[in-house]
């Protein structure tokens, strides 16, 4: 039965990692769905958020799970401000310009972090970092379990916001019909900025959930965003449900291919899936036709 | 109520409107007629704040609308039902109507929903359906219904008959007459000359970005120049 236990434990680990991947993908897919651009600064923003957790812990002694209540509103405000006062004015209403501005931002953020923190890899020590909980024959890492549950809660909150609040409805309206929304009294620039802020807020939460078990260096965000990009394509560009299901699938695939092909080849399965999706279902699992 | 004077507007520095002046009084139906490409849609877009006028003035209740944003202008009660409907295809009919009161008349949302469903019973039947799956006529009803949700004081209807079958066009004009009978001012921007003149009290005819004829609907419909101008003969 040892074989089955190992398989189940890899599966559980994959699901737990996948939930955090899903959270990172949510922000990416939301911004894509509404602004119709890939936010190239997504990875750098995640890195910045992870450093923010590091600073909160080392300088202010704040636990990551408490820091989430400070960093989430802070990153929402930063995302809002950057879109409203930097990206939007610099883009002159041209989508390809937005793309380049976010690319520029990512370079600035990454190099600022590199200048400030050097390229060292750092991590934080929390008392519960290695605690486990026993479920049947499985030992599950407590911080990963927390991340799993929290990611679902965030996805649910995001869905409630989009489905049931006026702001959420305005976000969905702007996504498909800017002019109609403006004529209904929606301030399109404001809604763009709110969407960007939500994307950044998701990353702040993801950073707080990751840091207890993960390390940070100035380029760490890119590794996650490459995976997140695969998830967004797999789930369907702009689809919230797609990001969630896609995240879990990718997490499991990575974990299982790590188990069978060895740790260093863990990501091979992800990119195999990426290519297969592009070949056979380019709109993704939940994606509508472009 | 709406006073437009010497309005010049266009895109990228090229003027489409070259000094348009017109007015709409309270509770009045005024038609703005003209063939494709004479500047009707540009006029609507300038009035509702989607594009900036380069000179001239637009006043609503005496307040200048120049340099005000589209959401601000709609908040003042000047509602534009755009050409091509511009409904939200990915959202339900119900949500589309709700968003009509996103900025204005939000407190009366439930009451206004009932009112819109009273005028357009078809929208009630379809309320859970995605707006993108509606027929053209139903989408036009939805666009007007969404506009009514904001309790307009003046409503601009941009080509409400565009792309509808002749029977539906009749129905649409009858509905506009019914809405206007409640005291709402309507600026009806149309290519459909005959039916618009039956509905409107006054009309303006646009050509090449300028008003070439103006007067009461009765006088204009008897004026032989209208057909000449309009059909370009």
Q: What is the pLDDT of residues B179-227, one digit of tens each?
A: 888 889 999 999 888 889 989 999 999 988 999 889 898 888 888 887 7
* SS3 readout for chain A: CHHHHHHHHHHHHHHHHHHHHHHHHHHHHHHHHHHCCCCCCHHHHHHHHHHHHHHHHHCCCCCHHHHHHHHHHHHHHHHHHHHHHHHHHHHCCCHHHHHHHHHHHHHHHHHHHHHHHCCCCECCCCCCCCCEEEECCEEEEHHHHHHHHHHHHHHHHHHHHHHHCHHHHHHHHHHHCHHHHHHCCCCHHHHHHHHHHHHHHHHHHHHHHHCCCCCECCCHHHHHHHHHHHHHHHHCCCCHHHHHHHHHHHHHHHHHHHHHHCHHHCCHHHHHHHHHHHHHCCCCCCCCCC
Judge: A169–B103 Cβ closer than 8 Å, yes or no: no
Distance, CA of A112 to CA of A44 (rounded, Å)? 10
Quick one: pLDDT band at residue A288, thresholds 50, 70, 90?
Answer: low
Rounded CA gap, A25 and A207, in Å? Answer: 13
Q: What is the mean pLDDT of chain A?
A: 90
Closest to B149 in 3D by CA, of B180, B183, B173, B115: B115
**Which of B50, B71, B104 minimises the CB distance to A179?**
B50
**Which among A173, A182, A185 has the least Cβ separation from residue B88?**
A173
**Average per-residue pLDDT for chain B:** 91
Identity of the residue in A176, A185, A186 whose CB atom sits nearest the CB atom of B90? A176
Percent of chain A with pLDDT over 90: 62
Distance between CA B81 and CA B77 in Å, rounded? 12
Token output for B21: 């002046």
Q: Name which of A169, A170, A183 is nearest B48 (Cβ-Cβ).
A: A183
Q: List the beta bridge partners of residue B57.
A: B5
A190-233: pLDDT as tens digits: 999 999 999 999 999 999 999 999 999 999 998 888 899 889 98
- Mean pLDDT on B83-100: 94
With bands split at pLDDT 50, 70 and 90, how would you rate the model's confidence at A5? Answer: confident
Best mutation target among A184, A187, A237 (most B Cβ atoms within 10 Å) is A184
Nearest CA in chain B to A179: B86
What residues pair up with B157 in beta bridges, in sequence order? Answer: B81, B188
Nearest CA in chain A to B51: A179
**Are the Cβ atoms of B70 and A172 closer than 8 angstroms?**
no
pLDDT, residue B232, reads 55
What per-residue confidence (pLDDT) applies to B121? Answer: 92
pLDDT, average across residues A59-63: 94
Quote the minimal CA–CA distance from B88 to chain A in Å.
6
Q: Is the pLDDT at A290 greater than 50, yes or no? A: no
Which residues of chain A lie closer than 8 angstroms to B99, CB-CB?
Answer: 166, 169-170, 173, 181, 184, 186
Are A20 and A221 within 8 A, CB to CB?
A: no
Comparing CB atoms, the residue among B85, B87, B102 nearest residue A185 is B102
Site from A182, A183, A187 to mutate, B interface, most B CB atoms within 10 angstroms: A183
Residue of chain A whose alpha carbon sits nearest to that of B71: A185
Region A168-181 average pLDDT:
94
Among the partner residues A166, A172, A183, nearest to B91 by beta-carbon distance = A172
B126 CA: distance to closest CA in chain A (Å): 18
Give per-residue pLDDT as tens, A90-143.
Answer: 887 777 888 889 999 999 999 999 999 988 899 998 898 889 898 888 889 999
Cβ contact (<8 Å) for B50 and A180?
no
- In this prediction, residues A52-73 reach a mean pLDDT of 95
Q: For residues A224 and A78, which has the higher predicted lDDT (pLDDT)?
A: A78
CB contact under 8 A, B88 and A182: no
By mean pLDDT, which of A2-11, A257-266, B100-109 is the weakest?
A: A257-266
Domains and CATH numbers, chain B: 2-77+153-231 (3.40.50.300), 86-151 (no CATH)
Report domain extents, chain A: 25-121+135-218, 219-290
Task: Flag if A183 and B79 touch (Cβ within 8 Å).
Answer: yes
User: Is residue A165 very low, low, confident or very high in pLDDT (cuts 50, 70, 90)?
Assistant: very high
Per-residue model confidence (pLDDT) at position B231 = 58
Q: Higher confidence at residue A185 or residue A282? A: A185
Residues in B touching A179 (Cβ below 8 Å): 50, 82, 86
Partner B contacted by A177 (CB < 8 A): yes
Please check whether residue A183 touches B, CB under 8 A: yes
List of chain B residues whose C-beta atoms are within 8 Å of the C-beta of residue A177: 86-89
What is the pLDDT, as a whole number, of residue A270? Answer: 85
Mean pLDDT of B149-163: 92
Per-residue confidence band for A260, with pLDDT thresholds at 50, 70 and 90 = confident
- Interface touch B50/A187, C-beta < 8 Å: no
pLDDT at residue A289 tops 60: no
Find residues 100-119 of chain A whose CB sits inside 8 Å of chain B. Answer: none
Residues of A in contact with B42 (CB under 8 A): none
């Amino acid at each position: 039965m040892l074989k089955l236990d190992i398989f189940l434990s890899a599966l559980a680990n994959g699901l737990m990692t996948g939930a955090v991947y899903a959270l990172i993908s949510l922000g990416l897919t939301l911004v894509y769905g509404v602004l119709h651009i890939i936010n190239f600064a997504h990875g750098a923003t995640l890195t910045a958020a992870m450093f923010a957790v590091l600073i909160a812990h080392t300088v202010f002694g704040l636990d990551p799970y408490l820091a989430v209540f400070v960093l989430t509103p802070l990153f929402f405000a930063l995302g809002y401000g950057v879109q409203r006062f930097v990206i939007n004015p610099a883009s002159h209403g041209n989508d390809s310009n937005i793309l380049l501005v976010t690319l520029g931002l990512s370079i600035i953020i990454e190099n600022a972090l590199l200048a400030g923190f050097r390229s060292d890899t750092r991590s934080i020590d929390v008392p519960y970092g290695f605690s486990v909980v026993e479920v049947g024959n499985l030992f599950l890492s407590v911080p990963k379990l927390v991340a799993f549950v929290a990611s679902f809660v965030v996805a649910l909150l995001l869905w409630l916001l989009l489905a049931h609040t006026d702001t959420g409805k305005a976000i969905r309206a702007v996504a498909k019909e800017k002019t109609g929304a403006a004529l209904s009294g929606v301030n399109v620039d404001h809604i763009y900025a709110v969407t960007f802020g939500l994307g950044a807020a998701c990353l702040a939460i993801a950073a707080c959930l990751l840091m207890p078990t993960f390390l940070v260096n100035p380029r760490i965000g890119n590794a996650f965003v490459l995976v997140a990009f695969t998830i967004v394509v797999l789930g369907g560009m702009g689809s919230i449900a797609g990001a969630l299901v896609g995240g879990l699938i990718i997490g499991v695939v990575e974990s299982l291919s790590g188990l069978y092909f060895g740790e260093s080849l863990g990501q091979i399965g992800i990119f195999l899936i990426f290519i297969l999706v592009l070949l056979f279902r380019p709109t993704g699992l939940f994606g509508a036709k472009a | 109520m709406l006073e437009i004077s010497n309005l010049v507007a266009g895109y990228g520095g090229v003027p489409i409107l070259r000094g348009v002046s017109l007015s709409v009084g309270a509770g009045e139906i005024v038609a703005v007629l003209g063939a494709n490409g004479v500047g009707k849609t540009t006029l609507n877009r300038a009035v509702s704040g989607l594009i900036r006028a380069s000179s001239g003035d637009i006043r609503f209740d005496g307040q200048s609308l120049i340099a005000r944003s589209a959401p601000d202008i709609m908040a003042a009660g000047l509602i534009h039902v755009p050409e091509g409907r511009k409904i939200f295809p990915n959202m339900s009919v119900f949500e589309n109507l709700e968003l009509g009161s996103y900025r204005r008349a939000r407190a009366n949302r439930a009451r206004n929903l009932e009112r819109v469903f009273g005028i357009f019973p078809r929208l009630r039947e379809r309320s859970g359906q995605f707006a993108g799956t509606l027929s053209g006529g139903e989408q036009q009803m939805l666009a007007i219904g969404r506009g009514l949700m904001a309790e307009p004081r003046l409503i601009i209807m941009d080509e409400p008959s565009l792309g509808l079958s002749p029977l539906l066009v009749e129905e649409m004009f009858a509905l506009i007459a019914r809405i206007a009978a409640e005291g709402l001012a309507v600026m009806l921007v149309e290519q459909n000359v005959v039916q618009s003149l039956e509905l409107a009290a006054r009309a303006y005819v646009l050509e090449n970005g300028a008003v070439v004829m103006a007067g009461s609907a009765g006088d204009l419909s008897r004026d032989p120049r209208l057909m000449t101008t309009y059909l370009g003969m």
